[in-house]
Amino acid sequence: MRVAVVFSIFLTIRVANTISDKFFPPDFVFGVSTSAYQIEGAWNLSGKGESMLDYLSHTYPNSITDRSNGDIACDSYHKIDEDIEMLKHLGVNFYRFSLSWSRILPTGSIEGGVNLAGVKYYSDMLDKLKAAKIDAMVTLVHFDVPIGFIKEKMFRTEKLNQMFVDYARLAFNLFGDRVKYWLTINEPAGFSKDEMRTFYTDRGRDVYLTAHNIIKCHAAIYHLYNKEFREQQGGKLSIALNTDWYEPASDSKEDIEAAERALMFEFGWIAHPLIYGDYPEIMKKAIASSPSPLRLPVFTYEEKETIKDTVDFIALNHYSSFLTTNDPNKDVDRTFDKDIGILKTLDPSWETTILDWLHVAPSGMRKVLNWINKTYGNKPILITENGYVEGGTLKDDRRINYLQTYLSSVLDAIYIDNINVIGYSTWSLMDNWELYSGYSAKFGLYYVNFTSPNRERIAKDSVGFYKNVLESRHLVNNRNAGNHV
Q: Which is nearer to ligand BGC, 24 or 191 (CB)?
A: 191
CB of 306 to ligand BGC, least distance (A): 27
Residue from 187, 195, 247, 390 carrying the catalytic annotation: 187
Window 216 to 275, contacts with ligand BGC (CB under 6 A)? 242
Strand partners, 323: 247, 345
Q: How far is CA 137 from CA 163, 217, 275, 306, in A?
A: 22, 19, 21, 25
Supply the minimum distance, in Å, between the C-beta of residue 235 and ligand BGC.
21
Min dist CB 4 to ligand BGC, Å, is 27
Positions 353 through 392 that interact with ligand BGC (CB under 6 A): 385
We find the least distance from the C-beta atom of residue 339 to ligand BGC, in angstroms, to be 21
Task: List the one residue from 186, 213, 321, 401 that touches ligand BGC (CB under 6 A).
Answer: 186
Q: Which is nearer to ligand BGC, 242 or 404 (CB)?
A: 242
Tell me the number of residues near ligand BGC by CB under 6 A. Answer: 12
**Cα distance between residue 260 and residue 257, in whole Å:** 5
User: Could you say which DSSP state residue 196 is in?
Assistant: T
Interaction residues for ligand BGC, span 302-361 (CB under 6 A): 317
The nearest distance, CB 203 to ligand BGC, in angstroms, is 20
408 forms part of the interface with ligand BGC (CB under 6 A): no
Classify burial at 329, counting beta carbons within 10 Å of its beta carbon; exposed 0-12, middle 13-18, buried 19 or more.
exposed
Question: Using CA atoms, how far apart are residues 394 and 432, in angstroms rounded to an integer?
Answer: 15
Closest CA to 157 of 221, 213, 220, 217: 213
Which residue is catalytic, options 82, 385, 390, 434?
Answer: 385
* Known catalytic membership, residue 187: yes
Q: From CA 281, how far away is CA 310, in angstroms rounded?
A: 20
DSSP state of 68: -
Give the CA angle between residues 278, 283, 288 to the nearest 5°: 105
Q: How far is the CB of 33 from ligand BGC (least distance, A)?
A: 8
187 part of the interface to ligand BGC, by CB under 6 A = yes
- Kindly tell me which of 38 and 373 has the beta carbon lying closer to ligand BGC: 38
- Pick the binder of ligand BGC from 435, 445, 463, 481 (CB under 6 A): 435
| CB closer to ligand BGC out of 407 and 411 | 407
Active-site annotation holds for 195: no
Give the list of residues 6+ apart from residue 454 with CB closer than 8 angstroms, or none: none
Quick one: DSSP state of residue 293?
A: T
452 preceded by cis ω (within 30°)? no
Q: State the nearest-atom distance from the C-beta of 53 to ligand BGC, in Å.
A: 10
Encoded one letter per residue, x for contact with ligand BGC by CB under 6 A and - for no contact, window 125-164 reads: ----------------------------------------
Query: 269 and 280 in contact (C-beta within 8 Å)?
Result: yes
- The smaller minimum CB distance to ligand BGC, of residues 184 and 242, is found at 242
As a whole number of angstroms, the distance between CA 172 and CA 237 comes to 11
Q: How many CA atoms lie within 13 A of 113 on its CB side?
A: 7
Interacting span for ligand BGC (CB under 6 A) from 244-252, 301-309, 393-401, 427-435: 427-435
Closest CA to 91 of 484, 471, 480, 472: 471
Q: Does residue 434 sit in helix, strand or coil?
A: strand
Backbone angles phi, psi at 295, to 5 degrees: -80, -25
Please report how close the Cβ of residue 317 comes to ligand BGC at its closest, in angstroms: 5
Q: Which stretch binds ligand BGC (CB under 6 A): 128-136, 184-192, 361-369, 462-470?
A: 184-192
The vertex-447 CA angle with 443 and 449, nearest 5°, equals: 120
Binding range to ligand BGC, per CB under 6 A, among 77-85, 183-191, 293-301, 459-467: 183-191
| CA–CA dist 383, 3 (Å, integer) | 35
Which one of 82, 266, 396, 434 is in contact with ligand BGC (CB under 6 A)? Answer: 434
- Out of 443, 447, 465, 466, which residue is the one contacting ligand BGC (CB under 6 A)? 443
Q: Is 427 in the site for ligand BGC (CB under 6 A)?
A: yes
Q: Is residue 408 within 8 Å of residue 18, measured between CB atoms? A: yes
Which residues are tagged catalytic? 187, 385
Site residues for ligand BGC per CB under 6 A: 35, 38, 186-187, 190, 242, 317, 385, 427, 434-435, 443
